Amino acid sequence: MAGVPVILGVKSLVLPIEPYLVTDRQMSTILRARQKLVVPCMRRFGFAWPDPDPGTGDSAGMPPGMKNAANMDRRYGITDPALAARHGYHFAPDAGQRTTREPPATRPDADALAVLTGRTGDGTPAPSRYHGLAVPEGGCQGQATARLTGGRPLGNDPLAGEINIVSYQKSRADPRVKAVFRAWSACMRKRGHSYAAPTDAPGKDPRFTGPAPTRQEIALAEADVACKRQTNVIGVWFTVDTAYQRRMMASKGPELAHAKDAVRIQTANAARVLNGDR
């Protein structure tokens, strides 16, 4: 692909849609604030609901391995040779990551679930009153979410989230990316590994899904990263991914401004809640 930059890693890459997505730090703050709002609501109905753990680190409350909303660390598969040599396809332990503590309510009983979500176990609407008290619309969790979002969806705006996902899907199927996948596959064959595309490696092969990386896994991961660098997989894929995003964003200025405003509202409200304003 003419004019495509050679890109060996993803650390400095930022996709056009990222400013419109909720970051890991922001989502952690929002989730902790929602838990803090849920606590007094549930206790008002007589449930012993513990205070949330404040969590630590930028990724508190986020799924393991998730570093930002676009998942750049793994969007194009593994890309860091040092991490591949040490951890294979496994995620490196993150000392700063700690998930927020879920209440024993992780599996609430039927009454608690109805008050928490406004729904029964089968998803039907729960009674609007519990022990004579009116249950908020959407339960305590729905009330907390509305308090943080102003009635908008929690987390990413649907349009921003869609652009983030669709651009990845379209870029992965793009002929230019498929061509660089073929080059990567040829490189891998020379190293003794048979995979049609980086998205196929390592798959669900039980040799690579254990609790710790094996020598085989590390060898495969090192070859994967080396061939990505040799054939410029990241440079081509990121360039195509970016182009699709820009195309989808071009006519959505007002909607994306709304999405960015939604992120600002959620994070500002969450900060106020965590600072003591309920």
DSSP structure string for 179-199 = HHHHHHHHHHHHTT---SSGG
pLDDT at 209: 86
The tokens for 31 are 């989730």
pLDDT tens for the chain, residues 1 to 278: 667 999 999 999 999 999 999 988 899 899 999 999 999 999 999 998 888 766 544 444 455 545 578 899 999 999 999 999 999 999 988 644 444 444 444 568 999 999 999 999 899 999 999 999 999 999 999 999 999 999 888 999 999 999 999 999 999 999 999 999 999 999 999 999 999 999 999 988 888 888 999 999 999 999 999 999 999 999 999 999 999 999 999 999 999 999 999 999 999 999 999 998 76
The answer to whether residues 83 and 35 touch, using CB atoms and an 8 Å cutoff, is no
pTM of the model: 0.83
Q: Which pLDDT score is estimated for 1?
A: 63
Output the pLDDT for position 51: 82
d(CA 195, CA 107): 41
The pLDDT value given to residue 165: 96
- pLDDT of res. 278: 60
Question: Which helix (H) or strand (E) is 252 found in, with range?
Answer: none
Check residue 119 and report its DSSP letter: B
Given this model, what pLDDT does residue 55 score? 57
Token pair listed for 152: 């908008």
pLDDT score, position 175: 98
Give residue 15's pLDDT.
Answer: 97
Query: What single-letter amino acid sits at 4?
Result: V
Cα 119–123–124 angle (5° rounding)?
70
